[in-house]
Amino acid sequence: MKSVSVAGEWFTVRWMDGRLLIMDQRKLPQAESYVVLETMEDVFQAIRTLMVRGAPAIGIVAAWGMALGASQSLARDIPEFMEELKAARDYVASARPTAVNLSWAVNRMTAKAERSVKGDQATVGLLQDILAEEAALIQREDEDASRAMGEHLLSLLGKSRGILTHCNAGQLATSRYGTALSPIYVGVEKGEKFHVFVDETRPVLQGSRLTAWELQKLGVDVTLICDNMAATVMSQHKVDAVIVGADRIAGNGDVANKIGTLGVALLAHHYEIPFYVAAPLSTVDLAIPTGRQIPIEQRPSDEIVKGFGVATAPEGVSVYNPAFDVTPHAYITAIVTERGVARKPYSVSLRDHVREVNP
């Protein structure tokens, strides 16, 4: 893994001349720094250490990681190649457990190779090319899905222009546009204006470091607030709608998202403010019936007691640091996917959305 200089507009992830480049989001907002991921270990560490984060972006990087590993294979035959591919799938999928897009992407890549093996002309070289094409398709589909979500959310918002969001679900979390921020990106393209309140999002500050950064880049009127200020701005009628992303959506519409999302949803419910979740269909996990079955990643204690290298708590104090919480579907006004707006009962509407793509 090595740092590189990149000219032109910023991006989250890009495959360039056989190399996988990502923005190192740990360096924001101080620096726009890019690294080349050269091995499967690099891909694993980039996902695990939050160099890349956001469920769709993790899936894209994982897909390209599979293509990267395949391109470096020295397998002598198809069975050996497939054995290596499946080992890579299991390894990368273990980097983070909550975001379903990660396992979805590596399983899709493996399934594509398995289907291609059945052809009479299958060779290791052909499979390497096919996997690179599949990763590129996953990234293009993500961009198209984000754009579609933006259009659907704009219709939902109507004249609402005071938006509150939690964590980062913009272009940094996807290939382009974002999920929760997609209506902002699409709206700006159409000349519309917004005022976005951004929760700082403790303990890693994805809101202040990432969301505020990219909204400033976009020229949007953005106000950063501490997480515990959300109730105040809602009570002052400054928020017309809340939009958040998701890392996994259960079959009944329960949503796992960055820790603190549940609190925001409860506040929005109290103040009768619409609470929207935006996520591609790859985030919907119909195999999990409710949010109680979603695995919640536990992060290192240093993120809280020594955040960014500064001691903020007494030595040896016990720490509980779940990366995500689960918002029950009862507090969600609508879930927006690339297929449109899903409403209660989500067990029906989400299944219908998935069925439209996979009849």
Residues in the chain: 359
247 part of the active site: yes
How are beta strands 34-37 and 19-23 bridged, if at all? antiparallel
Phi, psi of 258 (to 5 degrees): -50, 140
Q: How far is CA 112 from CA 88, 117, 172, 353, in A?
A: 14, 9, 27, 22
Report the distance separating Cα 115 and Cα 141, nearest Å.
Answer: 20
Q: 332 by DSSP, 3-state: which?
A: coil
Which residue among the candidates 247, 254, 285, 325 is catalytic per the annotation? 247
Task: Report d(CA 225, CA 167) in Å as an integer.
Answer: 12
- The residues, ordered by sequence, that sit 6+ positions from 317 with a Cβ below 8 Å of its Cβ are 305
* Beta partners for residue 340, in sequence order: 337
Angle (CA) 315 319 321, round 5°: 140
CA 161, 165, 171, 177 torsion-angle sign = negative
> Distance between CA 181 and CA 149 in Å, rounded?
9
Active site residues: 247
